[in-house]
Amino acid sequence: MKIRSALISISDKKEINNLLKVLSKYKIKLISSGGTFKKIKSLGYSCFEVSNYTNFPEILDGRVKTLHPKIHSGILFKRNKKSHKKILKKLNFEGIDLVITNFYPFQKTIDTTKVHEKIIENIDIGGPTLVRSAAKNYNDVVVITKISQYKKLINELNTYNGGTSLKFRLRMSREAFGETASYDAKIYNYFNSISNQSIPNKFIFEADLLEKLRYGENPHQTGAIYSNKESLKLTKLQGKDLSYNNYNDIFACLNLGKTLPKNKGTIIVKHANPSGVSMQTNHLRSYLSALNCDPISAFGGIVACNYKLNLQVAKEISKNYYEVIIANGFDKKVFKLFKTKKNLRLVDSSNFKLKNNQKILSGLNSLLMQSSDNFFFSKNNFKTVSKIKPSKKLMDQVIFSFNVCRSAKSNAIVITQDFKTLGIGSGQPSRIDSCKIAIEKMKKFNQFNYNEPLVAASDAFFPFIDGIEKLVQAGVTTIVQPYGSIRDKEIIKFADDMGIILIFSKTRHFNH
Amino acid sequence: MKIRSALISISDKKEINNLLKVLSKYKIKLISSGGTFKKIKSLGYSCFEVSNYTNFPEILDGRVKTLHPKIHSGILFKRNKKSHKKILKKLNFEGIDLVITNFYPFQKTIDTTKVHEKIIENIDIGGPTLVRSAAKNYNDVVVITKISQYKKLINELNTYNGGTSLKFRLRMSREAFGETASYDAKIYNYFNSISNQSIPNKFIFEADLLEKLRYGENPHQTGAIYSNKESLKLTKLQGKDLSYNNYNDIFACLNLGKTLPKNKGTIIVKHANPSGVSMQTNHLRSYLSALNCDPISAFGGIVACNYKLNLQVAKEISKNYYEVIIANGFDKKVFKLFKTKKNLRLVDSSNFKLKNNQKILSGLNSLLMQSSDNFFFSKNNFKTVSKIKPSKKLMDQVIFSFNVCRSAKSNAIVITQDFKTLGIGSGQPSRIDSCKIAIEKMKKFNQFNYNEPLVAASDAFFPFIDGIEKLVQAGVTTIVQPYGSIRDKEIIKFADDMGIILIFSKTRHFNH
């Protein structure tokens, strides 16, 4: 079945010339309006104007053009149904076998203006209706909604001598409904945002495939990464494709790295948990401190530097096996160094910015949504409750400890000294076990100084004294934890009796 | 500004009578077609038929009814713009100030039939177009898309003497775009499913708010649960509202519980990790075994029974503090027992069925998607590689161990005996640390028998012999782990030298 006539109504007129050439080759009658009509004529093709075709003027500044029964009957009638053909003949209506449309650029408009009137004017009514009519009737009609589909259409027309296959029409129909759904999702989400609906009654998430991943968390699971931004603002400069687990670890790294003071943090992550973190203006020391916290766990992990990676640090990094190195830029010499390690991924995160996004986690038949937990800590988030008060420098160390603790899976206990982690206990059902793990790691791998402050952070309050007691016995002299236990008073008294500093945070930071 | 005329085109005609009464009170002219027209007339109201109104017949079995410039100009013209008013007057068109529409029941159709033709016929074209026109022009027009909005409209009409507020119209417009977006998302997802597109180029998720949660993982985060099913098939029979963390734990419980043989599994979960699991036909023993694995961690956790909870077991459970008890039904006497514990949540999961859903996890500006990992294990998933082979009974224990291990956060090591966990090591960046934790817990809390098989499971392969060595030293006699290390041969040799049973699983089960 050959295509006899096409309705073209496009907002973005790129690459239309090639397509018109092929439509003309197969003598397909063109119908169009407004800017598209002018464009087609200017390219030298003959074309019917919609208003002449329907015998109805284009009115309301273009708000009503194609919303006409002659157009929609021509699209929607079933070509194999006698009664449909009969009524079309009676009304002297013709079939429209091809619809080529892209919509008013709603997303682009909200990206470039805050003028609500202008945004509303960019809600396309006619376009989506044409597309939905054609997509519904894919059995007889082709619908083209993206410039990237032009080549495929040309290919079909050439293969089927001016016709198309049902398979192709079905695929175009499927993609068309993807376009109309995501177009309206964007409008809906815009309306939600101007109405401050952070938890709307209906949640619609639309995103484009960025990359099909080799597999999910495990080889028997499929995996993919989607985004409704054009890119993640992460640039892979070298190495194998990133895996699902790489991405998961990278997000854990950046969530922490981008909340540390700039240009001095090194983070090593394994299985979505930090295995070592350090913050030093000397980058070599920063990296080595992060590594030495738990060099065994670091093996096969990923390293994130919130500074530009130089050759000296890179040489040190290259002595260990990592899957990914993330940095805010790389010195040129670093690429030479890693040239032979072809599998190693180098990822530039300079342009990456942390946003307050919604956190989404699928449950069973459902989806848990929450606001993100990546605000920047300041001393106002904390209150010293012990008699002894921390110095300003110590308070900075407390904030560092607590920040690392927030990024570890709950229950989490983190012991630090001088802006480097000594022991990280994570992912335990019991808080006291996390204390034990942190203490054991501190003693096993690290050199530290009992005469300098040893700071421990807990992501939630201690329900009993036992955990704190263990930490103090191990040499910890400053503890930061959220308040909220019915034993808070008892715990403050214990801290004062022991002569340690106890600081309560205003916020809890479970992270599962 | 009073509403003068309304276009009504509804597929679901419930509760329209009350609304018509109010529209009639304010002398609002009604325009309608087909079944809605008949319904309005039958209720005794006067109404214009669309085809008389437009002077164009309803054709193509109802495919083209309201797609007419008289209708859409009437909706879309700007009431405060002279040129718009002028052209309407010239064309002798009138304003349509209210659109009441609900769509052909696409979702209901795919729920009740597999006949593709019938499904396609239930893609509404006219309805969404009316809604989108009216929603775009919310400044002048009210759009009603859900029966649940009728009462609010009546309220507005009565408050504003036949008019509505701009705030209300904006809200209705927002909700309208939610309806059109989710309607097309359902169509798109249907097309994806019939085309076997498990990783489509565009991912559109639409779900309805089930419950606004008190907060997210932490009190400073907002939280909510959404689903595109009508319910989660979980029934809360008693207790406080479920929290974000409760839901997360419940999902962890059910993911494991529903893959254990029916009517004998007890699972205790804390911070999304199992703290104890047991599978026994004697339910009391099943619960006590799960508890005794780590009674300290169990405190404040949630218990899931994949059996009907009777009084005897409930009495034992009531001796410990839990946030939630899930069971496949509860004996009546159990409710009496727990009547005084008003905060304790009792959740019935009898109707809950595990499905192969997509797993979604939000990254930063992105979304990671993978297929679920909840298939049922059988002996075909395993291969014994040691000289000594397991008995059938032991193989069942191996499957139990490995199944529990899959549900713990990576890296995970689980030691079991006779279908009960003795030690669970989870959430560690280093596998050997998980071994140590599992062994320590086994020795600390449990009574077990060195003469009976001690089975250890690992969610991924051991990269070195050290982990296995530690387990064997602790008394483990059977080990199950995925294959894949370059040292697999060495590990098999070690197992044979030690005289233990070593079983390789075909699948890895990272779970972060």
Angstroms from B99 CA to nearest CA on chain A: 15
Contact present, B386 and B502 (Cβ < 8 Å): yes
Task: Please say if the pLDDT value at position A356 is more than 80.
Answer: no
> Does any CB of chain B come closer than 8 Å to the CB of residue A236?
no
Strand arrangement, sheet containing A5-10:
A48-49, A29-32, A5-10, A98-102, A142-144
Average pLDDT, stretch B66-89? Answer: 93
Q: Is A179 helix (H, G, I), strand (E, B) or coil?
A: helix
Whichever domain contains A480, its CATH number is: 3.40.140.20
pLDDT band at residue B331 using 50, 70 and 90 as cut-offs: very high
Mean pLDDT taken over chain A: 95
Q: What tens digit of pLDDT does each residue of B7-23 get?
A: 999 999 999 999 999 99
Task: Please say if the pLDDT value at position B365 is more than 90.
Answer: no
pLDDT at A64: 82
**Cross-chain residue pair B204–A63, CB shorter than 8 Å:** no
Average pLDDT, stretch A476-486? Answer: 97
Q: Which chain A positions have a beta carbon within 8 Å of B133's beta carbon?
A: 67, 125
Q: Among A342, A318, A311, which residue's Cα sits nearest to residue A237?
A: A342
pLDDT at B57: 80
Boundary-marking domain end, from B194, B215, B243: B194
Q: Which chain A positions have a beta carbon within 8 Å of B201's beta carbon?
A: 175, 178, 208-209
Neighbour count for residue A293 (Cβ, 10 Å) = 27
pLDDT band at residue B61 using 50, 70 and 90 as cut-offs: confident
Contact present, A135 and A181 (Cβ < 8 Å): no
CB proximity list for B52: less than 8 A, separation 6 or greater: none
Boundary-marking domain end, from A145, A169, A194: A194
Average pLDDT, stretch B260-275? Answer: 95
Same domain, A24 and A148: yes
Number of domains in chain B: 3
Contact present, B416 and B475 (Cβ < 8 Å): no
Amino acid present at A289 = S
Average pLDDT, stretch B108-117? Answer: 95
Contact present, A217 and B373 (Cβ < 8 Å): yes
Same domain, B388 and B264: no
The answer to whether position A213 is within a domain reads no
In which region does residue B336 sit, left (phi positive, over 0), alpha (psi from -120 to 50) or beta (all else)? alpha
pLDDT at B358: 87
Q: Is B100 helix (H, G, I), strand (E, B) or coil?
A: strand
When CB atoms are compared, the residue of B91, B188, B507 closest to A174 is B188
When CB atoms are compared, the residue of A191, A203, A509 closest to B207 is A203
**Cross-chain residue pair A184–B184, CB shorter than 8 Å:** yes
Contact present, A17 and A41 (Cβ < 8 Å): no
Question: What is the rounded CA–CA span in Å between residue A267 and residue B372?
Answer: 30
State the burial class of residue B90 (Cβ atoms within 10 Å of its Cβ: 0-12, 13-18, 19+). exposed
Angstroms from A190 CA to nearest CA on chain B: 9
Q: What is the percent of chain B with per-residue pLDDT over 90, rounded to a whole number?
A: 93
Task: Please say if the pLDDT value at position B357 is more than 90.
Answer: no
Q: What is the percent of chain A with per-residue pLDDT over 90, rounded to a whole number?
A: 93
Q: Among B470, B464, B512, B472, which residue's Cα sits nearest to residue B491?
A: B464
Q: What is the dihedral of CA A155, A156, A157, A160, to 10 degrees?
A: 130
Q: What is the CA radius of gyration of chain A?
A: 31
Same domain, B264 and B358: yes
> Does any CB of chain A come closer than 8 Å to the CB of residue B362?
yes
Question: What is the rounded CA–CA span in Å between residue A465 and residue A369?
Answer: 34
Sign of torsion over alpha carbons B53, B58, B63, B68 = negative
The partner residues of B190 in beta bridges, in order of sequence, read: none
Mean pLDDT taken over chain B: 95
**Element (H or E) spanning A74, and its range?**
helix A69-76
Phi, psi of A227 (to 5 degrees): -155, 150
> Does any CB of chain B come closer than 8 Å to the CB of residue A368?
yes
Query: What secondary structure letter does DSSP report for A342?
Result: T
Q: What tens digit of pLDDT does each residue of A297-355 get?
A: 999 999 999 999 999 999 999 999 999 999 999 999 999 999 999 999 999 999 998 88
State the burial class of residue A161 (Cβ atoms within 10 Å of its Cβ: 0-12, 13-18, 19+). exposed
Same domain, A141 and A94: yes
Residues 76-95 of A with CB under 8 A from B: 76-78, 83-84, 87, 91
Question: What is the rounded CA–CA span in Å between residue A466 and residue A455?
Answer: 17
Q: Is B163 helix (H, G, I), strand (E, B) or coil?
A: strand
Same domain, B361 and B395: no
Same domain, B172 and B285: no
How many residue contacts between A and B have a Cβ separation below 8 Å? 451
Q: What tens digit of pLDDT does each residue of A175-234 get?
A: 999 999 999 999 999 999 999 999 999 999 999 999 999 999 999 999 999 998 888 999
Give me the numbers of helices (H) and strands (E) for chain B, helices first please: 19, 21
Whichever domain contains B57, its CATH number is: 3.40.50.1380
Same domain, B383 and B359: no
Q: What tens digit of pLDDT does each residue of B481-509 get?
A: 999 999 999 999 999 999 999 999 999 99
The answer to whether position B49 is within a domain reads yes
CA angle B389, B412, B392 (to 5 degrees): 20
pLDDT at B282: 97
Same domain, B84 and B133: yes
The answer to whether position B330 is within a domain reads yes
**Which of A362-366, B84-88, B133-137 shows the highest mean pLDDT?**
B133-137
Task: Please say if the pLDDT value at position A395 is more than 80.
Answer: yes
- Look up tokens 């992990």; give the residue: A301
pLDDT at A63: 82
Q: What tens digit of pLDDT does each residue of A116-139 get?
A: 999 999 999 999 999 999 999 999
Q: Which two tokens stand for residue A26?
A: 């197969």
Q: Give the domain range for residue A61.
A: 5-194
The partner residues of A99 in beta bridges, in order of sequence, read: A7, A143
Q: Among B343, B342, B340, B334, which residue's Cα sits nearest to residue B316?
A: B334
Strand arrangement, sheet containing B48-49:
B48-49, B29-32, B5-10, B98-102, B142-144
Contact present, B382 and B364 (Cβ < 8 Å): no
Average pLDDT, stretch B404-414? Answer: 97
Determine the residue among A294, A302, A370 to mutate to test chain B binding: the one whose Cβ has the most chain B Cβ atoms within 10 Å.
Answer: A370
pLDDT at B64: 82
Same domain, B34 and B77: yes
Determine the residue among B7, B60, B139 to mutate to test chain A binding: the one whose Cβ has the most chain A Cβ atoms within 10 Å.
Answer: B60
pLDDT band at residue A65 using 50, 70 and 90 as cut-offs: confident
pLDDT at A231: 85
Sign of torsion over alpha carbons A141, A147, A150, A151 = negative
pLDDT band at residue A73 using 50, 70 and 90 as cut-offs: very high
The answer to whether position A365 is within a domain reads no
The answer to whether position A359 is within a domain reads no
Boundary-marking domain end, from B132, B167, B194: B194
Q: Which two tokens stand for residue A98?
A: 């091809």
Same domain, B25 and B162: yes
Same domain, B347 and B415: no
Task: Please say if the pLDDT value at position B356 is more than 80.
Answer: no
The partner residues of B371 in beta bridges, in order of sequence, read: B358
The answer to whether position A211 is within a domain reads no
Neighbour count for residue B322 (Cβ, 10 Å) = 18
Same domain, B362 and B417: no
Contact present, B163 and B1 (Cβ < 8 Å): yes
> Does any CB of chain A come closer than 8 Å to the CB of residue B198?
yes
Task: Please say if the pLDDT value at position B229 is more than 90.
Answer: no
Average pLDDT, stretch B320-341? Answer: 96
Q: Which chain B positions have a beta carbon within 8 Å of A380's beta carbon?
A: none
Q: pTM to 2 decimals?
A: 0.93
pLDDT at A354: 86
Task: Please say if the pLDDT value at position B139 is more than 90.
Answer: yes
When CB atoms are compared, the residue of B60, B181, B254 closest to A204 is B181
- Look up tokens 């009504």; give the residue: B8
Residues 28-67 of B with CB under 8 A from A: 56-57, 59-61, 63-64, 67
The partner residues of A154 in beta bridges, in order of sequence, read: none
- Look up tokens 């990280």; give the residue: A424
% helix / strand / coil in chain A, to the nearest 5?
A: 40, 20, 40
% helix / strand / coil in chain B, to the nearest 5?
A: 40, 20, 40
The answer to whether position A239 is within a domain reads yes
The answer to whether position B212 is within a domain reads no
pLDDT band at residue B355 using 50, 70 and 90 as cut-offs: confident
